[in-house]
């Protein structure tokens, strides 16, 4: 995947710089065109001449060292790169990028590039766990940067723990796999529903459920990252969309969600109904606040429209995926729902299981397609689970074409 790729390697100051030498060598052997840019700190550990010999290209160290008067060097390199890798990445460089600081050639170039940026941290275990570093990494992930987590082991500082620069071969493997899936959904239109609905009783009270929308929003971000144009129909949740390719439509009631989904269903290639839509709503909605009365209160409820059933019944070329959030015998109910609603696949999870369910950042699910081939996705972040779900959807779509 990296053959003929133009790769900018940013090397920052740390003892792990020696691994960057091996990384350049391996990238070059794979057919990549590598240019190295070093911070001043990095040059204290390894000479630029070493990287020049390994990459067979000039090494950049100084913003003001303009070798070609017809070009501004850092802008030229920023535009040239397909991929940018920072290895080793110190706490200092991570902080600078997170706050938009451009005080040397590497940070200036990283601000200017539109290449995919991969960051491989290397630092003391306590530095890696510091709240400031964690916050900066989270910010960069939200902006679309990709992190290659450090390994655990004996560190140069004498500590044993997480913070050791990942091995060059692993860095290359991670980047290659990511690049392979980068355009997984290119040209696809993906329609996703997320969150709960609210069914009003009066201006003050409503029926709803515990859905936070986190899974649906994670799916939307993953689809957009993989190149899809995404329409996200969201119930009332406290979640933010980040990717510019997500068109968000906010709704409140089950009827609102039904209408919004059907407005966009015909053009969709993939439809994922991750929302927890209310099955019932009050027959009567009061215009004024209901006053407290003596005795019990009985509210008559009526069924809402079954959105997923309607999509399964009417689909033509759409790949329709449902969710089955259960607390008992989830696989049985999931299979039944898959068949009854004429779905192409269903995501089954036990919301009572620790680490799964509503309002948490992780999930544990089983992907089941209409051929009843299942894939269990173990405990992971909802972002990671979402990516794995799209790998499986893309696999099934490819099988349908054969």
8 and 83 in contact (C-beta within 8 Å)? yes
Order across the sheet with 374-381: list the strands: 246-250, 229-234, 189-194, 270-273, 319-326, 345-350, 362-369, 374-381
Cβ neighbors of 267 (< 8 A, separation 6 or more) are: 189
Side-chain-side CA neighbours of 321 within 13 Å: the count stands at 29
Side-chain-side CA neighbours of 233 within 13 Å: the count stands at 29
210 and 359 in contact (C-beta within 8 Å)? yes
Report cis status (omega within 30 of 0) of the bond before 358. no
CA torsion angle for 384, 82, 170, 55 (degrees, to 10)?
-170
Which of 157, 200, 252, 379 is catalytic? The answer is 157
Residues 309 and 343: their CA atoms lie apart, in Å, by: 9
Residues 284 and 308: their CA atoms lie apart, in Å, by: 25
Active site residue 157: yes
Instruction: Tell me how far CA of residue 32 lies from CA of 40, 146, 214, in angstroms.
Output: 25, 19, 38
- Please identify every residue annotated as catalytic: 157
């Amino acid at each position: 995947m990296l053959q003929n790729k133009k790769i900018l390697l940013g090397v920052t100051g740390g003892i792990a710089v020696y691994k960057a030498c091996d990384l350049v060598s391996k990238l070059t052997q794979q057919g990549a065109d590598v240019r190295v840019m070093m911070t001043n700190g990095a040059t204290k550990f390894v000479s630029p001449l070493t990287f020049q010999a390994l990459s067979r290209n000039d090494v950049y160290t100084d913003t003001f060292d303009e070798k070609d008067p017809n070009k501004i060097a850092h802008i030229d390199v920023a535009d040239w790169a397909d991929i940018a890798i920072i290895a080793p990445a110190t706490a200092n460089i991570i902080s600078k990028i997170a706050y938009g600081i451009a005080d040397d050639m590497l940070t200036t170039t990283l601000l200017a590039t539109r290449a995919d940026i991969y960051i491989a941290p290397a630092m003391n275990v306590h530095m890696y766990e510091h709240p400031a570093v964690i916050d900066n990494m989270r910010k960069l992930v939200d902006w679309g940067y990709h992190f290659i987590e450090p390994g655990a082991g004996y560190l140069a500082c004498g500590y044993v723990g997480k913070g050791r620069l990942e091995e060059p071969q692993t860095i290359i493997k991670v980047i290659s796999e990511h690049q392979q899936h980068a355009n997984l959904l290119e040209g696809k239109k993906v329609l996703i529903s997320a969150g709960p609905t609210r069914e009003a009783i009066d201006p003050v009270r409503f029926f709803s459920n515990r859905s936070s929308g986190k899974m649906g929003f994670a799916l939307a971000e993953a689809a957009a990252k993989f190149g899809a144009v995404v329409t996200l129909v969201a119930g009332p949740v406290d979640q933010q969309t980040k990717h510019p390719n997500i068109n968000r439509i906010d709704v409140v009631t089950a009827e609102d969600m039904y209408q919004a989904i059907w407005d966009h269903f015909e053009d969709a290639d993939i439809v994922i109904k991750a929302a927890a839509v209310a099955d019932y709503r009050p027959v009567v909605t009061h215009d004024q606040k209901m006053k407290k009365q003596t005795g019990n209160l009985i509210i008559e409820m009526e069924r809402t429209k079954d959105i997923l059933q309607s999509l399964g019944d009417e689909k033509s070329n759409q790949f329709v995926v449902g969710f089955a959030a259960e607390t008992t015998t989830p696989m049985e109910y999931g299979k039944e729902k898959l068949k009854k609603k004429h779905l192409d696949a269903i995501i089954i999870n036990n919301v009572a299981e620790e680490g799964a369910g509503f309002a948490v950042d992780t999930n544990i699910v089983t992907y089941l397609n209409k051929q009843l081939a299942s894939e269990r996705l173990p405990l992971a972040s909802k972002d990671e689970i979402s990516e794995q779900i799209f790998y499986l959807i893309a696999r099934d779509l490819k099988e349908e074409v054969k």
